[in-house]
Structure 1
Amino acid sequence: MKPLASTTRSPRRTAAIGVVAATLTVGATGAAYALAQNAGAPDTAVVSAGGPVEADEVAAPVVVDRTPTPVPGEEEYTQERADAFWAAGYHLEDANALADLWQVPVLEAKGRAGQMLLDGQPVPVAPGSSLDMTDPATVAALAAVAFWDAGYTAEDGAALAALWSVDVYDAKATAGQMLLDGQALPIPPSGTPVS
């Protein structure tokens, strides 16, 4: 097939291009209009229930609810319940044990346990009872929590490291373990202890 050498276009080709352009313009305008109409309703959308609608028919709209479904247990987890859970001395490992016991997500287990504590009811897992005290990482994590909860700061850790001639991490771990054992540290905390 030879390419056209003429610079003029056939009338049929020009008409076809015009029809395609008009169709695309009408389609894009309709889509933009539909999007603009639905932009004002963020929680719901209206869809046609029965496909194409004849000019003399009116399709009943179906409303689709787009409100997010809450995560199971999310409604049970409040800041008040979380504060009660952590203040009682519970750890994440305890929350995992409760979740396994009750067959619920961890978030729901913490919420339930927190509410039980607020209501003065016993929780079936004791605080700290799920910790593996033979694991050095667990022991070090508890020492670090004790260090920070006593009101000691990063600067205090650096001061203890210089005093004991060890690195800062070892100083904080040693200081935390001393606090857990009821021993006094050679310097007072610079920050405010967690009550």
Structure 2
Amino acid sequence: MNPRTSTTGSPRRTAAIGVVAVTLTVGATGVAYALATDDRPAAEITAGHAAPQAPADDDALATDDPTAADVVAGPDEYTQERADAFWDAGYYMEDADALAALWHIDLVEAKGRAGQLLLDGQPVPIAPGSSLDLTDPDTIAQLQLVAFWDAGYTGDDGATLAALWNVDVIDAKATAGQMLRDGQPLPIGPSGTPVS
């Protein structure tokens, strides 16, 4: 066996040292982040002991504090019931984005928290639809189509209206949706079942 004369070591050894260095750096960064974002004493965090949680205060939900929803639902508590409560109340994705920004949480958790507030009969700090930009043509087009479909109209109804008004199907659906939003009757009834 020939002795190595190089002082740099083998490529495998260099790669292994690099992996260890990166792992230590990532681990140290994670601990530093945990220490910086956690209100508990450092000894408690590093020892792995959780601080006792104060019981949920029902009065906290009645305040105007946007973080009051923290006691209502966590990130792993997004359920279909909460999602249905959120959407059924007339909220839009833009409202969920605004709530996520207000509460400094992700989108799914924001919908879950808002849904739980609604189920509990508590106010949500953002009203349904209040985050929509009603000057944006794309938003208006989206609302028109939602009104068309929610009223129980179908693709075939759109084709019938297009033939009746001598326009293309997309324009017919948009016009019909705007008429429905304005409370005007359409010349034909819906073929489908309206969303209640």
TM-score, normalization by structure 2: 0.62
Structure 2 alignment gaps of length 5 or more? 1-72
**Counterpart of 2:89?**
88
Shift of 1:76: 2.2
Greater share of residues in helix: 2
- Give the residue type in structure 1 aligned to 2:107: V
Structure 1 alignment gaps of length 5 or more? 1-71
The 5-angstrom pairing of residues 1-195 of structure 1 reads 73-195=74-196
| Aligned mates of 2:110, 2:193 — CA distance in 1 | 30
- Give the residue type in structure 2 aligned to 1:98: L
Shift of 1:73: 5.0
Greater share of residues in strand: 1
Structure 1: 4+ residue segments shifted above 2 A: none
Render the CA deviation track for 1:75-134: whole Å, top value 9, x for unaligned: 221100000000100000000000000000000000000000000000000000000000
**Counterpart of 1:49?**
none
Identity of aligned residues (%): 77
| Aligned mates of 1:99, 1:107 — CA distance in 2 | 8
- Give the residue type in structure 2 aligned to 1:188: G
Aligned Cα root-mean-square deviation (Å): 1.2
**Counterpart of 2:10?**
none
SS of structure 2 residue aligned to 1:191: coil
SS of structure 1 residue aligned to 2:183: coil
- Give the residue type in structure 1 aligned to 2:149: W
SS of structure 2 residue aligned to 1:111: helix
TM-score, normalization by structure 1: 0.62
Asked if the contact 1:178–1:184 (Cα under 8 Å) also holds between the matched residues in 2, the reply is yes
**Counterpart of 2:44?**
none
| Aligned mates of 1:113, 1:86 — CA distance in 2 | 10
Aligned length: 124
Asked if the contact 1:153–1:191 (Cα under 8 Å) also holds between the matched residues in 2, the reply is yes
Shift of 1:175: 0.3
| Aligned mates of 1:76, 1:124 — CA distance in 2 | 20
